[in-house]
């Protein structure tokens, strides 16, 4: 990675910490044969004023669900044109296709307004009976529901719980030994805190922040996964180097073909990823709590940045205005990332 790029990244992160926009960041700069990891700042303030270090666990997003879907496609257990109703018989939208879910063009609403008043049973019923708000394939609207469904479809095909499924097919083969759902037997101080929520007893630490995933016992296709910078850097480096690790093809070759296929690039999205530029192979993905991963398949470079931007409350995050802070807090706004900060 070019030194001026590295310098800009470091400057942005340090400025954000200095201005108290964030309390700290764990980040890595990844090249074909390099993996430079840095931990700077703290988990938070007051009782959470704990220096960041290797092995600390962050609440992540849904990239690993996408990986398992590609593996199933490579094994001919699934196709992009497979329909939801082939695997889930009790949904009100059986004709939505797998590609619609991956591209966030399923027609399902982005979220529910009253999640905090729901039970687990009510949430599951709500997801399965959700109405279509537009014709599948006609618009792009990001929806957690898409990845909740993908998680259920993976479980239906493999006939094992999602947490076990992803561990067997992704985390264990990649030696991602600190990546899991619902982690336990880990010191509480090893978890990066997220947001204060009164109905959950204060600052959330060691539990998934997303309330839908929380209702689903911490395990869902859209949220609930915890990991470390070391493990995510391993994931990214193998991804960038062709997908093979210990002589085993973890990321199937068809995944790279489909991610580069313009047929599956709509509204700055590829299958399971966002695009900086629809004409280039530059992927990124972010999580609401403040985690992000960026992969440039054209030059085999990557950047992972882990923060807890909603700590101690998302109200603090909402006040940020300057571009340097938005780089971390809004997680890689396409225009600024592409033109100024990275690549």
DSSP 118-146: --HHHHHHHHHTPPBSS-TTS-----HHH
User: Is residue 117 assigned to a domain?
Assistant: no
As a whole number, mean pLDDT of residues 119-139 equals 98
User: Is residue 115 assigned to a domain?
Assistant: no
Cα separation values, 312 from 21, 61, 203, 270, Å: 11, 19, 7, 33
User: Is residue 203 assigned to a domain?
Assistant: yes
201-210 own/partner pairs: CB under 8 Å, 24+ apart: 203/44, 203/48, 203/311, 203/312, 206/57, 208/59, 208/182, 209/59, 209/288, 209/289, 209/310, 210/59, 210/144, 210/288
User: Is residue 94 assigned to a domain?
Assistant: no
| Percentage of the chain exceeding pLDDT 70 | 90
pLDDT tens by residue, 21-44: 899 999 999 987 788 999 999 999
Match 């509204």 to its residue by tokens. 267
Q: In this predicted structure, which of 71-75, 109-113, 214-218, 320-324 has the lowest mean pLDDT?
A: 320-324
pLDDT at 315: 78
E strands, the chain, in order: 24-31, 34-41, 58-59, 180-181, 196-197, 202-203, 225-227, 244-245, 248-249, 269-270, 273-275, 282-287, 291-296, 301-306
Omega within 30 of 0 (cis) for the link into 312: yes
User: Is residue 118 assigned to a domain?
Assistant: no
Is the separation of the CB atoms in 35 and 28 below 8 Å? Answer: yes
The domain total for the chain is 1
Q: In this predicted structure, which of 210-219, 235-244, 278-287 has the lowest mean pLDDT?
A: 278-287
Domain CATH code at residue 175 = 3.40.710.10
Please give the Cα distance from 1 to 23 (Å, whole number). 26
User: Is residue 38 assigned to a domain?
Assistant: yes
pLDDT tens by residue, 145-182: 999 999 999 999 999 999 999 999 999 999 999 999 99
Does residue 2 register a pLDDT over 70? no
Instruction: Write down the pTM of the prediction.
Output: 0.92
Domain with 245, as residue range(s), is 3-64+73-79+161-341
pLDDT tens by residue, 280-317: 899 999 889 999 999 999 999 999 999 999 999 987 65
- Residue 262, both tokens: 């313009």
User: Is residue 103 assigned to a domain?
Assistant: no
Does residue 319 register a pLDDT over 60? no
Confidence band, pLDDT 50/70/90 cuts, at residue 337: very low
CA-wise closest residue to 41 among 320, 323, 309: 309
Helices (H), 63-198: 63-74, 98-102, 120-128, 144-158, 162-166
């Amino acid at each position: 990675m070019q030194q001026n790029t590295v310098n800009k990244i470091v400057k942005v992160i340090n400025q954000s910490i200095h201005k108290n926009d964030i309390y700290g960041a764990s980040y890595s700069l990844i090249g074909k044969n390099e993996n430079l990891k840095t931990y700077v700042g703290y988990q938070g303030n007051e009782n959470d004023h704990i220096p960041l270090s290797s092995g600390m666990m962050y609440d992540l997003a849904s990239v690993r669900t996408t990986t398992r879907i590609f593996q199933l496609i490579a094994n001919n257990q699934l196709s992009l044109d497979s329909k939801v109703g082939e695997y889930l018989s009790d949904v009100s939208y059986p004709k939505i296709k797998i590609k619609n879910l991956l591209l966030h063009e399923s027609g399902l609403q982005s979220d529910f307004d009253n999640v905090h008043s729901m039970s687990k049973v009510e949430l599951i019923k709500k997801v399965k009976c959700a109405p279509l708000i537009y014709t599948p394939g006609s618009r792009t609207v990001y929806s957690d529901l898409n990845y909740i469904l993908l998680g259920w479809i993976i479980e239906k095909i493999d006939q094992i719980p999602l947490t076990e499924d992803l561990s067997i097919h992704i985390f264990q083969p990649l030696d991602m030994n600190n990546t899991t759902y619902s982690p336990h037997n880990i010191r509480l101080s090893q978890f990066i805190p997220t947001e204060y929520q009164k109905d959950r007893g204060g600052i959330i630490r060691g539990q998934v922040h997303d309330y839908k995933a929380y209702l689903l016992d911490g395990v869902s296709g859209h949220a609930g996964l915890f990991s470390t910078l070391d493990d995510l850097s391993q994931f990214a480096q193998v991804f960038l180097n062709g997908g093979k690790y210990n002589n085993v093809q973890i990321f199937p070759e068809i995944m790279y073909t489909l991610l580069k296929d313009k047929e599956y690039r709509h509204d700055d999205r590829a299958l399971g990823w966002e695009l900086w530029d629809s004409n280039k192979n530059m992927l990124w993905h972010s999580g609401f709590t403040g985690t992000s991963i960026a992969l440039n398949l054209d030059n085999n470079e990557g950047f992972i940045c882990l923060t807890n931007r909603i700590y101690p409350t998302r109200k603090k995050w909402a006040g940020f205005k300057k571009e340097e802070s938005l780089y971390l807090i809004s997680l890689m706004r396409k225009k600024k990332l592409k033109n100024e900060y990275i690549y």
